């Protein structure tokens, strides 16, 4: 008779109880757990490496890559048909970029999806606005866009993924996501486990749902969440990985569209093991954090070191905790993958230093500059009562360039969770109240660009709004929430007297950098070289250290501190936000006005819906205000550019529902505009005139298009 300890007996009872509470399957039953090996995404190969292109300003090499968005098939169920995906270079996850700090890169994305537009966000990079993946800066099928990246931050795990307006969840879920690893010499000297795919391995987590024939269930009609009942790692459900009894570095990324994980490892006896968290979104922590469990929400990245020397000859399982974050649990969503540890001894020369780096935290600052409430109202997911469709009010913050701001992020959605991503900047998580009630050590001891707002939580973050000016997004990274309006913008204002105005990069929809029609000549070496050197001559990323130093010196000479300046700006913003709310009968910021049906309620249970909710919210129609120029902007539709087409009847039906959902009717003949950035009034007359001319031309195209079709 086998004798069990009290702890082991309790663990078995808890597991049985959680399995009883979990649902079984929405997908066909999957019975091949830990039978297929972990795939390693291929490394992306540089193009023209033998004849490198030189930056004409700096004299340094620039890297060039080409990515094609195209279909692929994957047989997930051995006994069923194939699933059709649309991935980068026809693989999912996409190929892994291996980048070195200080080497700029241009990546050309060519869209060969049959129907859907795309936009690409390099998540974790302080890219200039035209290359940040602004949601309405889309690339249609048959077009390409060149994205110019700095690669000048500290070493970190970034990822690239789709960011197209209204379709981010679909595109990312069907395969448009991949890892982008930035290395630097300082990190290399630490002696951490290394060798891509050998001892330094990406683990890209996802959760999906399948139809009875083995095809992938689509999130297109979801309005709340799609948690998925099949857990994937690097595209494979519940894989295994053969490992040696030594240290491994794993780069965790939660690429699920709605599921949060609370991870732990368990040995063959059911005992939990320790592991070390060494890095988060923005790179290395100050010191390794020894933990037994790790929260990771959508879009978060954590790097961990597991020492398998203590598990020689055993199976170690990475598991997920049930019953947290209000996510729906299913039969096997408490399992992630298995490590099969060899029983042969090895010589492990890798290290885990006690100190990793001096993290450049923002200077401490008192007070709160901005308060943002994330909640569901009238069927839409909103920030301070405002949707991304409300083009006149969606710029919710205007931090001055080079200032430090403290943002308070409140989860006002009962029973839902929201991972909040702020583009451009790295922030420090300094406070959490309610919910878990504390900042985790692996959050506090590093910089991040995503923070998880669990049910009922309010989290405070602090960031330095630099180095660039311009209009950037912040949003919930539950991609279904994002697609249904839980996204807004902030505008890092130009400092006219700084000496670095760089106004050509503050507009994410600047026409020069938008997508172009695909043509064979554009892909020749000479054409690529000419285009890259043209881009480099604008010097979007030159002298970053000098820019940072000048910003510090600039604010040091001001009688008004950066903090005070930011507070003054935010007080004006609060008034404008309230004004926006008061002018619409359905846009409010009071929690008391939120209908119970819009949230999960006290039970914390969630029912996924596949139908659209009709809303009566209407955006103000006053248009945008440039300096001395009034520009009328119609209500937003799901078609941000005049060339936007939906070739399938399903896509057209989806678009019609989205229009009806937002506006209560089909669009009028003048609806639609490519430029919807609610731009600050500090623009010069010349820039405003250029924008007005471009908008007038684009509106004329929309008028012509809709007059015969709506």
Q: 616: how many CB neighbours lie within 10 A of its CB?
A: 12
Give pLDDT, residue 165.
98
d(CA 397, CA 403): 13
Give pLDDT, residue 451.
99
Cα–Cα distances in angstroms (integers) from residue 451 to residues 226, 397, 709, in the given order: 20, 18, 43
Contact 277, 446 (CB under 8 A): no
d(CA 80, CA 71): 19
Alpha-carbon Rg for the chain, nearest whole angstrom, is 25
152-204 pLDDT, tens per residue?
Answer: 999 999 999 999 999 999 999 999 999 999 999 999 999 999 999 999 999 99
Kindly indicate the confidence band of residue 118, based on its pLDDT and cuts at 50, 70 and 90: very high
Average predicted confidence (pLDDT) for the chain:
82
> Which residues lie closer than 8 Å to 543 by C-beta, 6 or more apart?
none
pLDDT at 631 over 60: no
**Average pLDDT of span 574-597:** 28
- From 360-374, 548-562, 628-642, the region with the lowest mean pLDDT: 628-642
Contact 206, 299 (CB under 8 A): no
Burial 420-456 (b: 16+ CB within 10 A, else e): bbbbbbbbbbbebeebbeebbebbbbbbbbbbbbbbb
- From 41-55, 273-287, 508-522, 631-645, the region with the lowest mean pLDDT: 631-645
Give pLDDT, residue 709.
36
Kindly indicate the confidence band of residue 660, based on its pLDDT and cuts at 50, 70 and 90: very low
Q: In which element (H, E) is residue 170 found?
A: helix 168-173
**Average pLDDT of span 301-325:** 97
Comparison of pLDDT for 161 and 700, the residue scoring more: 161
pLDDT at 678 over 70: no
Q: Which two tokens stand for residue 585?
A: 């009968």
Cα–Cα distances in angstroms (integers) from residue 639 to residues 130, 390, 438, 664, in the given order: 19, 15, 42, 16
Burial 127-143 (b: 16+ CB within 10 A, else e): bbbbbbbbbbbbbbbeb
Give pLDDT, residue 596.
32
Taken in order of first residue, the domains within the chain and their CATH numbers are: 1-49+189-515+555-614 (2.60.40.420), 621-707 (no CATH)
DSSP 8-state secondary structure symbol assigned to residue 222: -
Whether the CA torsion 215, 216, 222, 226 is positive or negative: it is positive
d(CA 402, CA 499): 13
Reference 357, options 306, 294, 284, 408; nearest CA is 284
320-353 pLDDT, tens per residue?
Answer: 999 988 899 999 999 999 999 999 999 999 999 9
Torsion angles phi and psi, residue 114, rounded to 5:
-65, -25
Torsion angles phi and psi, residue 688, rounded to 5:
-60, -40
> Where do the DSSP E strands lie in 57-134?
61-74, 83-88, 94-100, 105-111, 120-123
3-class secondary structure, 527: helix
d(CA 121, CA 141): 18
d(CA 466, CA 126): 9
224-277 pLDDT, tens per residue?
Answer: 999 999 999 999 999 999 999 999 999 999 999 999 999 999 999 999 999 999
Give pLDDT, residue 687.
39
> What pTM, to 2 d.p., does this model score?
0.81
Whether the CA torsion 281, 286, 288, 289 is positive or negative: it is negative
> Which residues lie closer than 8 Å to 347 by C-beta, 6 or more apart?
none
d(CA 370, CA 399): 10
Give pLDDT, residue 501.
59
Kindly indicate the confidence band of residue 414, based on its pLDDT and cuts at 50, 70 and 90: confident
d(CA 51, CA 63): 10
d(CA 527, CA 521): 7
d(CA 585, CA 659): 19
Contacts 24+ apart (CB under 8 A), 7-13: 7/271, 8/269, 8/270, 8/271, 11/270, 12/270
- Per the DSSP assignment, residues forming a β-bridge with 242 are 340
pLDDT at 653 over 80: no
Cα–Cα distances in angstroms (integers) from residue 327 to residues 276, 297, 542, 608, in the given order: 26, 11, 44, 11
Dump the DSSP string for 569-616: HHHHHHHHHHHHHHTSSS----GGGS-GGGS--TT-------SPPP--
Cα–Cα distances in angstroms (integers) from residue 573 to residues 351, 383, 495, 620, in the given order: 49, 14, 18, 17
**Average pLDDT of span 490-505:** 83
Q: 705: how many CB neighbours lie within 10 A of its CB?
A: 17
DSSP 8-state secondary structure symbol assigned to residue 196: B
Q: Which two tokens stand for residue 662?
A: 């937002």
DSSP 8-state secondary structure symbol assigned to residue 252: E
- From 85-89, 112-116, 305-309, 588-592, the region with the lowest mean pLDDT: 588-592
- What pairing do the DSSP bridges indicate for beta strands 177-183 and 94-100? parallel
pLDDT at 635 over 60: no
Share of the chain above pLDDT 90, in %: 71
How long a stretch of residues is the chain? 710
Whether the CA torsion 362, 154, 440, 237 is positive or negative: it is positive
Q: 633: how many CB neighbours lie within 10 A of its CB?
A: 21
Contact 125, 165 (CB under 8 A): no
- From 108-112, 179-183, 375-379, the region with the lowest mean pLDDT: 375-379
Structure-token match 């059911």, residue found = 270
> Which residues lie closer than 8 Å to 403 by C-beta, 6 or more apart?
464, 465, 555, 562, 563, 565, 566
Reference 104, options 157, 51, 57, 164; nearest CA is 57
> Which residues lie closer than 8 Å to 659 by C-beta, 6 or more apart?
637, 638, 665, 666, 667
* Number of helical (H) and strand (E) elements in the chain, helices listed first: 10, 35
């Amino acid at each position: 008779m086998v004798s069990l300890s009290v702890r082991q007996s309790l663990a078995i009872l808890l597991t049985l109880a959680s399995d009883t509470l979990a649902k079984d399957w929405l997908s066909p039953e999957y019975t091949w757990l830990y039978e297929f090996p972990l795939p390693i995404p291929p490394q992306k190969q540089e193009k023209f490496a033998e004849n490198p292109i030189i930056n004409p300003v700096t004299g340094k090499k620039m890297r060039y890559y080409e990515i094609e968005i195209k279909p692929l098939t994957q047989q997930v169920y051995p006994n069923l048909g194939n699933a059709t995906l649309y991935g980068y270079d026809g693989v999912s996850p996409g190929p892994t970029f291996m980048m070195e700090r200080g080497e700029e890169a241009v990546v050309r994305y060519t869209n060969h999806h049959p129907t859907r537009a795309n936009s690409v966000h390099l998540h974790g990079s302080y890219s200039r606005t035209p290359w940040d993946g602004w949601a309405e800066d889309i690339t249609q099928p048959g077009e390409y866009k060149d994205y110019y990246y700095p690669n000048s931050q500290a070493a970190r795990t970034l990822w690239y993924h789709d960011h197209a307006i209204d379709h981010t969840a679909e595109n990312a879920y069907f395969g448009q996501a991949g890892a982008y690893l930035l290395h630097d010499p300082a990190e290399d000297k630490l002696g951490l486990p290394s060798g891509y795919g050998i001892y330094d391995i990406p683990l890209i987590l996802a959760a999906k749902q399948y139809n009875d024939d083995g095809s992938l269930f689509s999130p297109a009609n979801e309005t709340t969440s799609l948690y998925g009942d099949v857990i994937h790692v690097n595209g494979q459900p519940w894989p295994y990985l053969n490992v040696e009894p030594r240290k491994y570095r794993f780069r965790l990324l939660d690429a699920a569209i709605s599921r949060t994980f609370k991870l732990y490892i368990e040995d063959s006896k059911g005992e939990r093991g320790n592991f070390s968290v060494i890095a988060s979104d923005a790179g290395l922590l100050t010191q390794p954090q020894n933990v037994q469990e790790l929260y990771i929400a959508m879009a978060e990245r954590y790097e961990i070191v597991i020492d398998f020397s203590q598990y020689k000859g055993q199976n170690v399982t990475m598991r997920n905790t049930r019953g947290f974050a209000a996510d729906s649990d299913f039969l096997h969503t408490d399992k992630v993958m298995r490590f099969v540890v060899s029983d042969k001894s090895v010589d492990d020369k890798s290290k885990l230093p006690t100190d990793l780096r001096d993290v450049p935290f923002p200077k401490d600052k008192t007070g709160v500059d901005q308060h943002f409430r994330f909640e569901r109202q009238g069927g839409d997911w909103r920030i301070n009562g405002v949707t991304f469709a409300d083009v006149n009010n969606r710029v919710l913050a205007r931090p001055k360039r080079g200032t430090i701001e403290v943002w308070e992020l409140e989860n006002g959605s009962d029973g839902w969770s929201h991972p909040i991503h702020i583009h451009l900047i790295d922030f420090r998580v300094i406070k959490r109240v309610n919910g878990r009630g504390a900042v985790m050590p692996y959050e506090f001891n590093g910089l991040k660009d995503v923070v998880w707002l669990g049910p009922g939580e309010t989290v405070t973050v602090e960031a330095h709004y630099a180095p660039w000016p311009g209009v950037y997004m912040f949003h919930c990274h539950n991609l279904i929430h994002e697609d249904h309006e839980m996204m807004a913008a902030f505008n890092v204002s130009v400092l006219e007297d700084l000496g670095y105005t760089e106004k050509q990069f503050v507009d994410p929809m600047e026409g020069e950098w938008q997508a172009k029609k695909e043509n064979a000549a554009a892909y020749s070496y000479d054409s690529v070289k000419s285009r890259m050197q043209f881009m480099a001559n604008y010097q979007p990323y030159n002298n970053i250290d000098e820019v940072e130093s000048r910003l510090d010196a600039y604010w040091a000479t001001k009688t008004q501190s950066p903090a005070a300046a930011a507070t003054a700006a935010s007080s004006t913003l609060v008034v404008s936000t309230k004004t926006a709310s008061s002018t619409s009968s359905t846009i409010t910021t009071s929690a008391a006005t939120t209908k119970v049906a819009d949230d999960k309620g006290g039970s914390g249970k969630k029912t996924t819906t596949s139908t659209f909710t009709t809303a009566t919210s209407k955006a103000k129609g006053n248009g945008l205000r440039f300096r001395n120029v009034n520009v009328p902007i119609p209500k937003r539709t799901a078609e941000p550019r005049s060339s936007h087409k939906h070739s399938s009847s399903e896509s057209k039906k989806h678009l019609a529902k989205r229009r009806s959902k937002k506006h209560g009717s089909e669009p009028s003949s003048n609806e639609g505009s490519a430029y919807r950035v609610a731009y600050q009034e500090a623009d010069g007359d010349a820039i405003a005139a250029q924008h007005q001319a471009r908008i007038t031309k684009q509106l004329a195209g929309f008028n012509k298009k809709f007059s015969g079709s709506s």
